[in-house]
Amino acid sequence: MDFENPTGLRVDRADLSDWAALAEIDAVAAAGDPARREAIRSWCEHGVVLLARDASGPVGYGVLEYTFFEQGFVSMLMVAPHARRRGAGAQLLTAIETTCATAKLFTSTNVSNNPMRNLLQRAHWRPAGLLHGLDEGDPELFFLCPGTRLRTAAEARG
């Protein structure tokens, strides 16, 4: 798997050797959060990370898991602060949609995360629910990828 666009951004599967570089571009891990650092290492070890890179190195990553009612779930989409608003998030989301092996693909984000909500809106993901209680005072919004996009990707994979 290898996705590239005219801006030179390339997306491919990360492996365990990538985890430290991803922890450096992840704002939470870079601030010293040991739980996030361990999560990144574990995700890379389990082969569920898609990594976006340009000529300078890693600029973002996305995690695709199948633990949400046995459906695809984007459990993390992170773009380095210095690389935001340049298309990395959209390209990661497209790569995840293309590689998803289930009929449905979900994600969630806090109500306060306007950049992610805007990205999902531009990608035509549909609201799928609201959950209170995870982060006090900041409900979690769930979204569903348009099914036609997943079917088209599955057909292209053969």
Scan for tokens 């982060």, then name that residue: 135
Domain boundaries along the sequence of the chain:
3-157
Q: What is the pLDDT of residue 152?
A: 59
Q: What is the pLDDT of residue 11?
A: 95
Cβ atoms of 122 and 114 closer than 8 Å: no
Q: Which long-range contacts (C-beta less than 8 Å, at least 24 apart) are formed by 109-116?
A: 109/140, 109/141, 109/143, 110/135, 110/138, 110/139, 110/140, 110/141, 111/138, 111/139, 111/140, 111/141, 112/138, 115/84, 115/89, 116/77, 116/89
Q: What is the pLDDT of residue 58?
A: 95
**Domain covering 3-157 in this structure, CATH number:** 3.40.630.30
- Please report, in tens digits, the pLDDT of each residue of the chain (158 residues total): 555 555 688 999 999 999 999 999 999 999 999 999 999 999 999 999 999 999 889 999 999 999 999 999 999 999 998 888 888 999 999 999 999 999 999 999 999 999 999 999 999 999 999 999 999 999 999 999 987 666 555 566 55
